[in-house]
Amino acid sequence: MKTWRAAIAALATASLFGTAAAAEKPSELRVGVTTFLSGPASVFGEPARVGAEMMVREINERGGIGGVPVRLIFVDEGAGGEHVVSEFRRLVEQENVDVMFASISSGNCNAVAPLAEDLGVLNFMWDCGTQRIFEEDDYRYVFRTQAHATPEMLATLLYLLKAKPDFQTIAVVNQDYAWGRDSWDIFSTALRALKPDVRVVAELFPRFGAPDYSTEVTRLAALRPDVILSTSWGGDLDTFIRQAAQRGLLQQSTFVLPLAESSLERLGRSLPPGHIIGARGDHYFLHPEFRDDPDFQGFMEAFRAETGAYPIYPVFHMSQAIAALEAAYLRAIEANGGAWPERSQVVDAMAGLTFQGLGRPVTIREDNQGLEAQLIGMTIHVDEFPFAVLDDMVIYDPRDITTPVGMNSIEWLRSLTPDFVDSVRIDRFSHAQ
C-alpha cells in the first residue's frame, strides 16, 4: 500500500517540478484559510475574509509575492470540526496548498496543529486564543502569528490595576465555553498574584449565545461589585452590554472588556465613557502610532467602504498572517539566491522572523509563538464618531507580558509578584494627541 502511494507521490512530484533540483516558480501561491463563514463566530470570520481578500488583491496588483500571485481558498469553520479536519486534508493533499491559516476556534487549532505537523505543511494559527498548544508540544510546521490569551488577559489586568488601583470586589460574566473559562482562569490567577486582597463576588458563566442576561444583570446590580469583567464577544457581548446599560449597571461598576474593540462601533453610544477595552493585540482602527499613515488610513477607509464598518481585530490578525506569509517567502527567496524556495526552506525562514501587518511588528520566538504588542484603552465619547472610542491608551511590550519560552502560563502567572505591575515597558497615548 505504502510503496504504491510513495510511487504515485514521487511521480506527481517529478511531473510537477521536472527533474531540476531547485523548485520552479509555481503559477500561484495557494493558501488555505479556515474562518467562520456561518454561525455566531462569523462576526469575526466574515470581516477577516473580506480583509484577507482585499490584502491579497493588493499584493497581486503589485505582482504577487516574489512574482507569484496568491490565491486564497476558504474553509468554513462553522460547518464543524470534522469538516475542518477533512477539508484541511483535502486542501493539503489535493489542492496542494503551500500554506494553511488555521484557525479562529481554539478547538480547531487544537485539532489541526498536530495534523499540520504530520502532513508537513506550514500552518499559521492566525486567530485562536488558547495558550496551550506550544506550552504542551514542540512543532516544526506550526507558528502563531499573534499573541495568545495570557498576554491579552495580563495586559488588561495591568491596565486595570493602574487605572483603578483601589478596587476591592470583582465579578465575572463570561461565555460558558472554553475561551470564557480559560480566560478567567488566566485573569483570576494573575489577579491573585498581583493584587491578592481583591474579592471575587460572582462567577457567572451564562450559556454561549444566551439571548438574555436580565438575571445576571439583576444579580450584579444587587451585588454592586467595583469591577465587572467580561471576555465575551460578538452578539453575546453586545446583548450583555446593552442590557446592562439599559438598566444603569454601567454607571454603577467599571466594566473590563478585553474583546470589546470588536463591538465598539455596533454598541454606539450605549457604551458610556470610563470603561476598559482591549483588542487582543494592538488592533484599533485609530491605532495611535499609525493613524496618520496614509496606507493604514487608506486600508481602514477602503474596508469601511466595502463592508460598512471599520476593521476589527480579526482583520488585523489576518493582516499579520498575510504579512508573515510574504516576509517568510521573501526571506526564503533571498536565502535561496533569488530562486523560488522549496517548502522546507520557507519553514526554515520562519525562525525569528519579524513582520508587520496593520499593527506594530510581530516577531516569531524560538517556540514558534509570535510576540505581539497589546493595546488597552478607556472609552470616551467624542464628536467625530457616533460610538465610543479609546482614550488613555497604553501599548504593552510583548516581551514583558508573554509567558516565557518553555513555561506553563498558569505557573508563570502564579510566580508573579505585585511589583511586576511597575516593571513592564509601556507607551501611553491619548485620543486627542
Partner 1 sequence: MTQLSWLHRTVILALALGVAVMPTLYPWSQVLLTLALAKGLAVLGVVVLLQAGQVSFGHAMFVAIGAYSATFLGRALGGGDLVVVLLGGVLTSVAFGLVIGVFVVRYRYIFFGMLNLAFSMVLFSLLEKFFHITGGSDGLRVLRPTLFGQSLDRATFEGILFYLTLALALGLGWLVHRYLQSPLGQALSAVKSNETRLEYLGVSARHVLLVGYVVSAALCGLGGVIIGLVQGLVTPELGYWVRSGELVFIAILGGASNVTGAFAGALVFEVVRTYAAAFAANIWQMILGGVLLLIVLFAPGGLIALYGNSVKKLFARTRTEP
Partner 2 sequence: MTPQLALLATLDGIAYAALVFMVAVGLTMIFGVMRILNVAHGSFYAIGAYSAASIVLGLTAAGMNPWLVFPGLLLAAVGVGAVLGTLIERLLLTRIYTKEPVLQLLVTFAVFMILEDVQRLVWGVRPYFAAEPVYLLGNVQVVGIFYTAYQLILLPTVALLVLVGLRLFLRRTLSGRLIVAVTEDREMATALGINAGRVFLLTFVLGSTLAALGGALASPTTSLVPGIGADMIVLSFAVVAIAGLGQVEGAAIAALMIGLGRSFAVYVMPELEVVVPYLVMVIVLLIRPEGLFGVVERRRI
Which residues here bind partner 1, judged by CB under 8 A?
A: 1-2, 4-5, 8-9, 37-38, 74-76, 79-83, 85-87, 89-90, 92-94, 105-107, 110-111, 114-115, 118-119, 130, 176-179, 181, 208
Share of the chain residues as helix, strand and coil, in percent rounded to the nearest 5: 45, 15, 35
Query: Total binding residues for partner 2 by CB under 8 A?
Result: 38
Residue 235 makes contact with partner 2 by CB under 8 A = yes
Task: Kindly tell me which of 87 and 392 has the beta carbon lying closer to partner 1.
Answer: 87
Q: Which of 73, 79, 178, 309 binds partner 2 (CB under 8 A)?
A: 309
What are the backbone angles phi and psi of residue 432, rounded to the nearest 5°? -70, -35
Task: Kindly tell me which of 239 and 297 has the beta carbon lying closer to partner 2.
Answer: 239
Residue 8 interacts with which of partner 2, partner 1, none, CB < 5 to 8 Å by class: partner 1
Task: Kindly tell me which of 33 and 227 has the beta carbon lying closer to partner 1.
Answer: 33
Cα 17 to Cα 10: distance, rounded to the nearest angstrom: 11
Residue 38 makes contact with partner 2 by CB under 8 A = yes
DSSP-derived 3-state class of residue 124? strand
Q: Which of 32, 225, 234, 288 binds partner 2 (CB under 8 A)?
A: 234
Picking from 367, 381, 306, 425, the residue whose alpha carbon sits closest to that of residue 148 is 367
Beta strands 227-229 and 199-204, pairing class = unpaired
Q: How far is CA 241 from CA 220, 255, 268, 274, 305, in A?
A: 13, 9, 11, 14, 27
Residue 206 interacts with which of partner 1, partner 2, none, CB < 5 to 8 Å by class: partner 2
The grid coordinates listed for 101 are: 491559516
Residue 273 makes contact with partner 2 by CB under 8 A = no
Query: Are the C-beta atoms of 313 and 279 separated by less than 8 Å?
Result: yes
* Backbone region of residue 382 per phi and psi (left: phi > 0; alpha: psi in -120 to 50; beta: other values): beta
Stretch of residues binding partner 2 (CB under 8 A), selected from 144-152, 213-221, 362-370, 373-381: 213-221
* Backbone region of residue 337 per phi and psi (left: phi > 0; alpha: psi in -120 to 50; beta: other values): left
Residue 71 interacts with which of partner 2, partner 1, none, CB < 5 to 8 Å by class: none
Picking from 427, 271, 379, 346, the residue whose alpha carbon sits closest to that of residue 29 is 346
The grid coordinates listed for 314 are: 480579526
The grid coordinates listed for 135 are: 506550552
Stretch of residues binding partner 2 (CB under 8 A), selected from 87-95, 139-147, 211-219, 320-328: 211-219
Residue 205 makes contact with partner 2 by CB under 8 A = yes
Task: Kindly tell me which of 88 and 240 has the beta carbon lying closer to partner 1.
Answer: 88
- CB of residue 11 to partner 2, shortest distance in Å: 41
* Binding-residue pattern over the window 133 to 172 for partner 2, x denoting contact by CB under 8 A: ----------------------------------------
Query: Are the C-beta atoms of 64 and 70 separated by less than 8 Å?
Result: yes
Residue 214 makes contact with partner 2 by CB under 8 A = yes
Residue 344 interacts with which of partner 2, partner 1, none, CB < 5 to 8 Å by class: none
- The DSSP result for 326-388, as a single string, is HHHHHHHHHHTTTSPPPHHHHHHHTTT-EE-SSSS-EEE-TTSBEE--EEEEEEE--TT-SS-
Residue 330 makes contact with partner 2 by CB under 8 A = no
Cα 370 to Cα 398: distance, rounded to the nearest angstrom: 9
Residue 80 makes contact with partner 2 by CB under 8 A = no
Residue 85 makes contact with partner 2 by CB under 8 A = no
In this structure, the number of other CB atoms found within 10 A of the CB of residue 132 comes to: 17
Beta strands 374-380 and 389-396, pairing class = antiparallel
Q: Which of 17, 25, 39, 291 binds partner 2 (CB under 8 A)?
A: 39
One-letter amino acid at 110 equals N
- CB of residue 302 to partner 1, shortest distance in Å: 22
Residue 243 makes contact with partner 2 by CB under 8 A = yes
Residue ranges that bind partner 2, judged by CB under 8 A: 38-40, 42-43, 45-46, 78, 176, 202-207, 209, 211-212, 214-216, 218-219, 221-222, 234-236, 238-239, 242-243, 246-248, 266, 270, 309
